[in-house]
Amino acid sequence: MSLTRFDRIVISVLTVLALLITAVILYGDQLALEVVDIVPAPEADQISTRATIQVTLSEALVDVPETAVTLDPPIPGTVSIQGTQLIFRPDVPLAANSSYRVTVAANIVGENGHQLEEPLSWQFQTGQPRILYISWDDEAADQLYLANVDGDTVTTTPLTQTDADVLDFAIKPDGSQIAYAILREGGAADLWLIDSDGSNNRQLLACPDAACSQAQWLPDGRRLIYERRNIPTPGAPPGNPRLWWLDVTSGETVPLFQNSQMLGLYPRISTNGQWLSFVSPIDQGIQLYNLEDGTGMLIPNQMGSPAVWRPQSDRLLITNINTSSTNWSVELTSVDLASEGVTVLSQPMPGEDSVDDSAPAWSPDGEWIAYGRKLPRTPMGRQIWVMRADGSEALAITNDPQIHHGEIAWSPDGRFLLYQQYNLEELYAKPTVWLVEIATGQRTEIASPGTLPAWLP
């Protein structure tokens, strides 16, 4: 039986299809993963010292080894996956003005068994951390400002140009964006979002009948927890504070707790994203809430100041009043998360039987604490001190009794302290922002006026 030309074409097509199916069966699992996107981009410069390394691949990933991503110079960190993204979050800040090479191992596997053909490698350059603060413009409206410090030279530029006052702000963990609250007429406050270079400024959440503020980022940079106070009528005082979730991408917002009577203010999130702390007025203490399993812990507290999480997320600092003696003290205490043990860190100065310490800040490595101290029951200004994490080796950094110091923040490399100050003896004194080098004590004025300084890594 002879085959027609049409028969031969059909047989050829079927043969090719059979070969393709056989190739897919035999070699499909050996096809390579494709790289879709890389952050930071290859050869990028001025990258944040808090940057997160992200590689987006062509298919969802399965378990990856802890050594899947490495940096040179070496930086410890945590590797995780989110769908098609391979993520590396450094445990410590990157060095400023430094070059890093990233290497992604070829042994990571997608859900279909595909792998990288060869290790992926690229490099980027970090920049110099900047300083973010609030000051007022020519129209007397509070705005966000940026300061660049190069030796003794300080350059400041406005970041926002709103028609209302900026109340507070929160810097995204990787330094790429800033969420901030704007006060509106009638006491309402909205949440806005702006890129750290001043671009892409947009409203994040409209709160026409509420004051929304005190936003705090989760480590993944996808959600915020913020404080919401409903305003029954325009001009009326805001109501009790409650905590809400906010999805940054979708704008969806819901209460954090199902119990609508649960009050909370000054939310703070541990560096690993597992724990939330907040001041609970009803419980007269600080509540710790595990965001993963819903468990909690109450720390009695009379001050109502926010907790301060250690970068390693294993401890937090609490400011509390000790009234056990006739000479009361304001003390800094350390709470160990694992044991729930509480340790008093504040020790009286020689010749004193009480202390007045507050406003603590952890160093980036978690080994030191900066804080404000003044002589109890005196009108002197609060000074800047540092001590070891166990309360030892307390040392004064400033000694200007007529100057009040506050809002202390460590530089990412641990060399400098950023702070706000004002002169108690000067009539109508303006708050100013300063920088002090810990080793030398050399000080540099950053802004006048200026409030709420923070490092933009």
pLDDT tens sequence for the chain (457 residues):
565 665 555 456 455 455 544 444 444 445 688 999 999 999 999 899 989 999 999 999 887 888 899 999 999 998 988 899 999 989 888 999 999 999 999 888 888 888 888 899 999 999 989 999 999 877 778 999 999 998 889 999 999 999 899 999 999 999 999 999 999 888 999 999 999 999 999 999 999 999 999 999 999 899 999 999 999 888 788 999 999 999 999 999 999 998 878 999 999 999 999 999 999 999 999 999 999 999 999 999 989 999 999 999 999 999 999 887 777 899 999 999 999 999 999 998 888 888 999 999 999 999 999 999 998 888 899 999 999 999 999 999 999 999 999 999 999 999 999 999 999 999 989 999 999 999 999 999 999 999 999 999 9
Residue type, 142: D
> Do residue 192 and residue 180 come from a single domain?
yes
Q: Are residues 190 and 277 in the same domain?
A: yes
Mark whether 148 and 275 lie in a shared domain.
yes
20 has which bridge partners?
none
Q: Please list the residues that pair with 155 across neighbouring strands.
A: 148
Contact 116, 108 (CB under 8 A): yes
* 76 and 150 in a common domain: no
Q: Answer yes or no: do 40 and 169 share one domain.
A: no
CATH number at residue 118: 2.60.40.1220
Same domain, 15 and 39: no
Contacts of 145 (CB under 8 A, 6+ apart): 132, 133, 134, 135, 156, 157, 158, 159, 447, 450
Number of domains in the chain: 3
Task: Assess whether 114 and 160 both reside in one domain.
Answer: no
The Cα 417–Cα 420 span in angstroms is 10
Dihedral of alpha carbons 284, 285, 286, 287, sign: negative
Closest by CA position to 160, among listed 214, 198, 204: 198
Q: What are phi and psi of 29, to 5 degrees?
A: -70, -10
**246 lies in the same domain as 348:** yes
Amino acid identity, position 251: G
- Statement to judge: residues 182 and 280 lie in one domain: yes
* Alpha-carbon span 145 to 136, nearest angstrom: 9
Residues of 298-314 as b/e, b for ≥16 C-beta within 10 angstroms?
ebebeeebbbbbbbebe
Burial class (CB in 10 A: 0-12, 13-18, 19+), 408: buried
* CATH code for position 323: 2.120.10.30
The domain in which residue 72 lies consists of: 31-125
Q: Is the domain of 146 the same as that of 176?
A: yes
Compute the Cα dihedral for 108, 111, 117, 120 and give only its sign.
Answer: negative
Q: What DSSP state is assigned to residue 29?
A: G
Note whether 52 and 155 are same-domain residues. no
Looking at the fold, whether 91 and 162 belong to one and the same domain comes out as no
